């Protein structure tokens, strides 16, 4: 969607335009005694605030489902969990991770009796910026 906006500027005034929905900042200056408008536009890349990671593991024979536990680097215990990932899946995308933070994960397999076993071993969670 394009929007046309018109301004009337007096000589010696500034107008700065910054749109939160687009990574563009424009500044307009009308010099005193001048009829020519000068405009500068700067493209500013907005870095994504979050990232996502893909936890992967091999299938566990007899698993009813998996639990994926993850934590930030430096945490002693797992602080987050994705529970009851179906047994036919061997990967899970974890979204809304803090950008620039390293995460570690481990996967447990839960059998039909409800017993939980560590399955994948502690691994670094690879991550990419969310778009």
- 51-91 tens-digit pLDDT: 999 999 999 999 999 999 999 999 999 999 999 999 999 99
Q: What pTM value is reported for the model? A: 0.64
Range of the domain at 35: 1-46
SS3 assignment, position 96: strand
Q: What percent of the chain has pLDDT over 90?
A: 60
CATH number assigned to the domain comprising residue 111: 2.60.40.10
Euclidean distance between CA atoms 109 and 62, whole angstroms:
9
Q: 21 versus 60: which is more confidently predicted?
A: 60
pLDDT at 69: 98
Question: Bridge-partner residues for 69, per DSSP?
Answer: 81, 106
- What is the number of structural domains in the chain? 2
Asked if residue 100 and residue 41 are part of one domain, the reply reads no
The vertex-75 CA angle with 70 and 80, nearest 5°, equals: 30
Q: Which residues contact 75 (CB under 8 A, 6 or more apart)?
A: none
């Amino acid at each position: 969607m394009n929007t046309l906006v018109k301004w009337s500027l007096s000589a010696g005034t500034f107008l700065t335009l910054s749109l939160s929905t687009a990574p563009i900042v424009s500044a307009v200056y009308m010099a005193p005694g001048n009829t020519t408008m000068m405009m500068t536009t700067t493209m500013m890349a907005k870095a994504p605030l979050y990232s996502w990671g893909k936890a992967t593991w091999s299938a566990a024979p007899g698993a009813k489902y998996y639990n994926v536990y993850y934590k930030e680097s430096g945490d002693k215990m797992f602080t987050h969990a994705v529970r009851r990932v179906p047994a036919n899946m061997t990967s899970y995308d974890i979204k809304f991770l803090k950008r620039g933070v390293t995460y570690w994960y481990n996967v447990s397999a839960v059998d039909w009796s409800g017993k939980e076993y560590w399955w994948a071993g502690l691994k670094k969670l690879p991550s990419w910026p969310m778009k």
